[in-house]
Amino acid sequence: MSATRQLAELHSMMGNYRDAIMLYEEIQECLRGETPVEVLLDLLKNYEKGKDFDNAILLLNLMMVSEDTRSSIDNKRYIGLHIGAWEFNVKQNQKEMATQYLLDAFTFAGQNMPRKDNVKDKIKAYILCSCDETTCSIGENIKMNLNSLCGIPSLHNTKDCLPGTRRLRYLEESLDNCEFILLINNCEFTSEFSNFYMELVISSDVFRSKAVLIGNAEMDPQLRMLQRVAFPETNDVTIGWLKDLFEKVLLGRDLK
């Protein structure tokens, strides 16, 4: 096994991931259920680098349910691999599979965080723009791409607040029921509700724990405590920008 593993490591270092995978799988086949954890982790790494996410996640799930290997996989590794699988499948125009990988990551994160069990019809995202405009271009652009590329529905400002409903109550209930909050602090202009939105999110431990700031935090020291992503250049919400966002949303949390 030693010589085969050394050759596999050499192929991996040279970027020949398929050849490395074949050798690691050969070791796995020979040992039949007694493969050392280090070899399984090397195989997992090469699956990931070789963009073979189906086999990577299959192996990851097997390692997660085995008492012998469960401790070698942390929660952030699980989520990071699923985000990578989402990105790869979006680029391959496999939207349905990409969406499933991403939703699996959110489900897993939810299982490993304290949360309410009685929330029905959970909203996945809430977008709050400092301008408070229901037609804000960057907010609407993010909302559209969250839905089309990620299968994640979202609310934007108070656009869906029904007539006669108190705005504060609508916001508090919606923010409480969402999976994550995107706080945009770099719109074309700010409104009288800008500071209100910021204070509402920052003053609540629950809201603050699932908020990501989009834009500049220098104007308000309180905003520096939030996870932050840069403002999309020319309002272009790219796959790379969304990946950075999901890493902040999911990997920035304190998972069990």
Q: Is 39 exposed, middle or buried (0-12, 13-18, 19+ CB in 10 A)?
A: middle
Q: Is the pLDDT of residue 120 over 60?
A: no
CA 216 from chain center: how many Å? 21
How do strand 178-184 and strand 154-156 relate by DSSP bridges?
unpaired
Q: For 4-35, write each residue's pLDDT tens digit.
A: 999 999 999 999 999 999 999 999 989 877 88
Q: Is the pLDDT of residue 98 over 90?
A: yes
Distance separating alpha carbons of residues 21 and 47, to the nearest angstrom: 7
Give pLDDT, residue 188. Answer: 57
Give pLDDT, residue 129. Answer: 84
Query: What sign has the CA pseudo-torsion 22, 93, 78, 104?
Result: negative
DSSP 96-158: HHHHHHHHHHHHHHHHTS---S---S-EEEEEEETT--TT-HHHHHHHHHHHHHH---EEETT
Mean predicted confidence (pLDDT) in 83-112: 89
Q: For 38-78, write each residue's pLDDT tens digit.
A: 999 999 999 999 999 999 999 999 999 988 899 999 888 99
Q: For 99-114, write each residue's pLDDT tens digit.
A: 999 989 988 887 655 4
Which stretch, 16-20, 154-158, 170-174, 222-226, has highest mean pLDDT?
16-20
Q: For 176-186, write each residue's pLDDT tens digit.
A: 888 899 988 76
The CATH homologous superfamily for domain 2-111 is Tetratricopeptide repeat domain (1.25.40.10)
**What is the DSSP-derived secondary structure letter of residue 249?**
I
Give pLDDT, residue 119. Answer: 41
Q: Is the pLDDT of residue 224 over 90?
A: no
Give pLDDT, residue 117. Answer: 46
Q: Is the pLDDT of residue 220 over 70?
A: no
Q: Is the pLDDT of residue 252 over 80?
A: no
Q: For 124-163, write each residue's pLDDT tens digit.
A: 899 988 776 666 788 888 999 998 888 888 988 888 888 8
pTM across the whole model: 0.83
Architecture of domain 123-251: 3-Layer(aba) Sandwich (3.40)
Domain ranges of the chain: 2-111, 123-251
